[in-house]
Amino acid sequence: MVINTEFYENHFARQEERNGNIRANTKHTSKPRTKRRPSTKNLPIGFVLNAARGRYQVLIKNNQIDQNIICSRASEIRNLDIVPGDLVKISIKTQAGTEILGQIKEILPRKTVLKRTTDDKNTFEKIIAANCQQAFILIATKNPDPQPDFVNRVLKACEFSKIKPYIIITKTDLNENFIKPIDLNKIKIIKSTEIEEIKQILQNKITVFIGLSGVGKSTLINKMLDFGVITGEKRETNEVSINGDGRHTSTSSQAFQVKNMENSWVIDTPGIRSFGLGYIEDRENKAF
């Protein structure tokens, strides 16, 4: 009896494909194409500093020397968010002029994630920053006016993600009679002019700056650069519009290292105009 080996090879190939072990082979050969990827075990681990338009600036240590690698990301993680604060495994590809190029192969598990949705009914999550232990929520005394609902929402997101919040009051010169918009008795409040106190809080932590457009996040970052608290290049700033609404000046998030502190980082984020909590509301509804 003659056995049709091609039939059985195709049958077992389809079975393996259904089990998720291999990928269908589009060519007419007897061996199915594997979908197993090369191991990332021995790849260097880097810290994501910036993410913009599909390019990622990643910091790695090479023989105790810091190197900035400009990375794309591998196709198998193309649908995953990569944000400042992420720890990633990268493969170094080549050097183009003064730039070293690489590719992000894997995102390591995150300890914390600060995220939002566009509104409370939308469960699509937008990750703001990863692996942060604390958040500076910036509130301006004026231009733009404080929005208690926004502050409450960020506080709720911090509580959900186990991130310690601080309130930073900016533009204190514009409104000397500023009254706190909400009850913040359990939250430490600091003026943006108190640079030394801010410096102490930043030690050995990753801190994300978050606030409405125009509250002065980038201005505070630049002041910290001037005082030598952090290292990096200055951020672009802009005036608030006539109607008091903030204007977006920072278009991407950027991590800055606290000076002389290897494990201390500040992540400046673009201004936010809405902070949905759809992922929290969805979980609360499912609990009933």
Report domain extents, the chain: 45-107, 113-280
22, containing H or E segment: strand 22-23
Distance CA(32)–CA(21), nearest Å, equals: 10
Helix (H, G, I), strand (E, B) or coil at 198: helix
Q: Are 255 and 50 in contact (CB under 8 A)?
A: yes
What pLDDT shows up at residue 8?
A: 38
Tell me which architecture the domain covering 45-107 has in CATH.
Beta Barrel (2.40)
Distance CA(163)–CA(50), nearest Å, equals: 21
pLDDT tens-digit map of 64-107 = 788 999 999 999 999 999 999 999 999 998 877 778 999 999 99
Q: Cα–Cα distances in Å, from 40 out to 17, 175, 264?
A: 23, 54, 26
Which position has the token pair 């232990």? 133
Residues 51-76 have a mean pLDDT of: 91
Topology match between the domains 45-107 and 113-280: no
Instruction: Report the CATH superfamily, name and number, of domain 113-280.
Output: P-loop containing nucleotide triphosphate hydrolases (3.40.50.300)
Mean pLDDT: which of 11-25, 30-44, 234-248, 271-285 is highest?
Answer: 271-285
pLDDT tens-digit map of 207-220 = 999 999 999 999 99
Distance CA(288)–CA(71), nearest Å, equals: 44
pLDDT at 285 over 80: no
Residues 1-25 have a mean pLDDT of: 46
205 burial (CB, 10 Å; 0-12 / 13-18 / 19+) is middle
pLDDT at 25 over 60: no
